[in-house]
A and B are shown apart, each in its own frame.
Chain A
């Protein structure tokens, strides 16, 4: 992990880039902040890549790549999917970016450790398992239990696009990420409706999911636009919160890379990624396997037309479409 920091220093020192986008140390071991470093000194003082570098940095490139000079960015495999998708959507200037791919075994954060039962955390030792020092004594927990939700169903160790790799290139890995979706599909419509109403009832409409989402790159979101007629800051009717998430999921359909940031940042632990993942699963079943950000060449199914595309009427009846 030290190699990542050394690479950042090397890139700045050699003049290859003028800025580095990475993670900055926090007050605790787990509260890293995405940051742009402009000098070797800044990197030496504050850059860190650790078990807590979960934040996907690719969205910051929309603004950063349009600035003067070249910027280096560090991308974990899942982040690289967003990076590629943003390129396919012409949201970032690739020529201003030096992308360094870094391999990853899954990330944690303060909240995921807390969910695993830690409170009063003051330090951590990263090993086979995690030893978390707390105000109330040490706690040993299995890393697997403390991983971020998005890492528990990791879909790929492959870094899709990079200028340089630190560590090994990986491959797509078998993932049971659609299992949770299948569980929802197995519910009756009433059960499923109740499930989502309960989950979404906790929404405080903070917009963290939207603002962190690399696929939500509209200059002005329809929900912020007073002339759209749907601008809304809060619930006028509690059902509207639900619609916000559903509409957002529709809007990122076939563009969502399943990076899982929406669920990571949700202060209310709403499993928002399941909405997006449901659409990914549907698209796989209707139009054949497709994962946004997985490559440069494929055409997004919703922007592509093929003679054998299923008819909308078939989509409604489902089931038969994929066969």
Chain B
């Protein structure tokens, strides 16, 4: 265990950023926090979480996959992959750290997505325990401990100091480079951890009952009448999808600048009607089916294919940001009551 005085945080960030890009949460002009590249003068946000999740680090909203040059009948393939570079993300909360495991199971299973894999290999995740969880937080419902986030390094912040605990080889290697850190006693943060866990106990959805969901629940849930009322006022926007740390659906599109064709991928949303629309038909014709797909995927289909693991980490972003305040907690509760 190491530590550094809060007043010295800037020198810690400077040291990390010496040989790599460092992303830290900073407040934007409207007071919300975003992961931004650290530079001299960046101020660490004190918000509980960022608007966008940390998934951007490995799965950016838009990414060029390749290019093509078409000349007459000839096609030339142009590799456009960004060179691998190591980077670090500081201040990742326990929920987002867990979300990486969920994304990994999609992108790193065969056939491996090499764009994702390349970034995943080159990152050092520095997590930060949640001093002040929000009422919308419910990571504990998924067995996540906000007082002990995973990652290559785990940090805790008390009033005076940032405590630093490397967990992996990558974390150890980074730690070895950081002479600004001084030795600390593990016991120093016990009080902080206890305080976080005490707050977590009080979270309104911290013990959300998930028993209606999980592996093998498709038949019970798919045709339930509640989907209609739950999805009734859904706007069909992609807010929940795009801010969600575990949503990973993507579209592949092309952009033709007249000289070359860029083939890129971008985040897509199952809430959009064109997500499944083909010239031959539309398997999900109304918002009800699209809405159902999103939640069935997170709470049944994904667990079906991944040993019961839910594709939700309880970060609460959708609770805050849905324009009509519909969210996964309401779905879980309504369906839970409906199936009792």
Contacts and interface: CB of A to CB of B under 8 A. Distances in A.
A129 interface: no
B96 to A, nearest CB: 16
A153 interface: no
A111 B319 CA distance: 10
A28 B323 contact: no
Contacts of B232: 35-36
A115 B28 CA distance: 12
Contacts of A235: 61-62, 266
A247 B218 CA distance: 42
B235 A208 contact: yes
B223 interface: no
B145 interface: no
A39 B133 CA distance: 38
Interface in B224-278: 229, 232-233, 235-239, 241-243, 251, 253, 255, 262, 264, 266-269, 272-274
Nearest to B321: A267
A267 B251 CA distance: 22
Nearest to A234: B266
Interface in A28-85: 28, 30-36, 55, 60
A233 B253 contact: yes
B290 to A, nearest CB: 13
Contacts of B237: 206-208, 210-212, 265
B30 to A, nearest CB: 4
Given A35-B233, A36-B232, A234-B267, A207 B30 contact: no
B270 to A, nearest CB: 13
Contacts of A3: none
A119 B45 CA distance: 14
Nearest to B265: A234
B233 A27 contact: no
B262 A120 contact: no
Contact of B135 (A55, A121, A226, A237): A121
A32 B229 CA distance: 14
A204 B333 CA distance: 29
Interface of B is mostly: loop
Nearest to A116: B31
B266 A208 contact: no
Given A135-B202, A198-B29, A207-B238, A234 B333 contact: no
Given A212-B235, A267-B243, A134 B325 contact: no
Interface residues of B, number: 54
A170 interface: no
Contacts of A265: 235, 237, 239, 323
B69 interface: no
A236 interface: yes
A202 B204 contact: no
Categorize the interface residue count of chain A.
35 or more
Contacts of A205: 61, 238, 242
Interface string A219-249: 0000010100000111111000000000000
Nearest to A117: B31
B9 interface: no
A136 interface: yes
B58 to A, nearest CB: 17
Contacts of A199: 29
Interface string A273-304: 00000000000000000000000000000000
A175 interface: no
Contacts of A139: none
A110 interface: yes
20 contacts: A26-B330, A27-B319, A27-B330, A30-B325, A135-B133, A135-B202, A135-B203, A136-B132, A204-B243, A204-B267, A205-B242, A206-B243, A207-B236, A211-B235, A232-B253, A233-B253, A235-B62, A236-B262, A237-B255, A265-B235
Interface of A: 26-28, 30-36, 55, 60, 110-111, 114-115, 119-122, 134-136, 198-199, 202, 204-208, 210-212, 224, 226, 232-237, 264-265, 267-269
Given A122-B135, A236-B62, 6 more contacts: A33-B325, A111-B320, A233-B272, A236-B253, A265-B235, A269-B30
